[in-house]
């Protein structure tokens, strides 16, 4: 197993491809953070998921793990196609949402914050944290950065859909970390995680559209009404 994982080191071609996919995914997260249009959020998320599926396939190929191929296909179909499609049809089109105005910090400020978080991720996840230099070295810090950027999206955006996309980006970061750090995760667990994600998105979409029916705009300032 160790020898297999070493084939993923930065020098090998699979390692390079993996690093490259990770960088593209990070850029997608930044693009989402720097955008103001709901449609773009969904597009960048879809693109990021497709790259994630590619990364899973690369790892699956390098390590000869058939279940990672299954995961790659599932990622492509569900995260790359189904979730973006459902978000567009059931939320963006039906609620006629275009521009996100419920942003608490300016775009440039959030981009600078994002850059700072990325730097922090690289500082925090030094190679020393990782027992062996097993994986393509940049992937783990980058996936940490994507997780932090997803979190940032959820914090600076007040609109429920933006928060949903932020969470999905965060989840993609976790998956990127998962396929490289723990390529051998038991399949049943991975399948369960995936199932939970799908159920969560379905329920969230239902809530958001239900909320939007009752409020003109479903953004979290209205949620303040709940405070006593």
Q: Which is nearer to other proteins, 51 or 170 (CB)?
A: 170
Interface characters, 14-53, with other proteins (x: CB under 8 A): ----------------------------------------
How many C-beta atoms lie closer than 10 Å to residue 9's C-beta? 14
Helix (H) or strand (E) holding 104: none
CB 37 within 8 A of CB 99: yes
Q: Which of 13, 55, 23 is nearest to 175 (CA)?
A: 55
Residue 186, interface with other proteins (CB under 8 A)?
Answer: yes
Residue 66, interface with other proteins (CB under 8 A)?
Answer: no
Q: How many residues bind other proteins (CB under 8 A)?
A: 46
CB 86 within 8 A of CB 205: yes
Chosen residue from 75, 87, 118, 160 binding other proteins by CB under 8 A: 160
Q: Which is nearer to other proteins, 23 or 178 (CB)?
A: 178
Chosen residue from 188, 205, 217, 221 binding other proteins by CB under 8 A: 188
Q: Which of 171, 179, 14, 151 is nearest to 78 (CA)?
A: 171
Residue 131, interface with other proteins (CB under 8 A)?
Answer: yes
d(CA 79, CA 197): 10
Burial class (CB in 10 A: 0-12, 13-18, 19+), 12: middle
Residue 215, interface with other proteins (CB under 8 A)?
Answer: yes
b/e burial code for range 42-69 (CB count within 10 A of at least 16 → b): bbbbbbbbbbbbbbbbbbbebbebebbe
Chosen residue from 163, 205, 217, 221 binding other proteins by CB under 8 A: 163
Chosen residue from 204, 205, 217, 221 binding other proteins by CB under 8 A: 204
HSE-CB at 195 with a 13 A cutoff on CA atoms is 6
Residue 161, interface with other proteins (CB under 8 A)?
Answer: no
Residue 208, interface with other proteins (CB under 8 A)?
Answer: yes
d(CA 139, CA 50): 17
Chosen residue from 112, 116, 133, 223 binding other proteins by CB under 8 A: 223
Binding residues for other proteins, rule: CB under 8 A, are 128-132, 134, 147, 151, 154, 160, 163-164, 167, 170-171, 174, 177-178, 181-182, 184-186, 188-189, 192-193, 195-196, 199-200, 203-204, 207-208, 210-211, 214-215, 218, 220, 222-223, 225-226, 228
């Amino acid at each position: 197993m160790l020898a297999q994982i070493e084939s993923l080191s930065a020098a090998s071609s699979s390692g390079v491809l993996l690093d490259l996919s990770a960088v593209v995914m990070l850029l997608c997260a930044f693009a989402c953070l720097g955008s103001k249009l709901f449609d773009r959020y969904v597009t960048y998320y879809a693109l990021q998921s497709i790259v994630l599926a590619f990364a899973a396939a690369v790892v699956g190929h390098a390590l000869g793990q058939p279940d990672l191929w299954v995961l790659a296909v599932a990622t492509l179909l569900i995260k790359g196609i189904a979730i973006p499609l459902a978000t567009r049809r059931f939320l963006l089109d039906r609620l006629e949402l275009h521009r996100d105005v419920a942003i608490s910090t300016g775009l440039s400020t959030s981009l600078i914050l994002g850059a700072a978080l990325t730097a922090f991720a690289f500082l925090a996840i030094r190679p020393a944290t990782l027992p062996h230099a097993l994986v393509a070295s940049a992937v783990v810090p980058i996936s940490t950065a994507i997780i932090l950027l997803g979190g940032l999206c959820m914090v600076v955006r007040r609109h429920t859909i933006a928060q949903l996309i932020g969470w999905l980006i965060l989840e993609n970061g976790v998956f990127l970390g998962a396929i490289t750090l723990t390529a051998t995760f038991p399949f049943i667990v991975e399948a369960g995680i995936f199932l939970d994600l799908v159920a969560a998105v379905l329920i969230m979409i239902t809530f958001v559209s239900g909320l939007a029916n009752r409020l003109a705009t479903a953004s979290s300032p209205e949620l303040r009404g709940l405070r006593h």
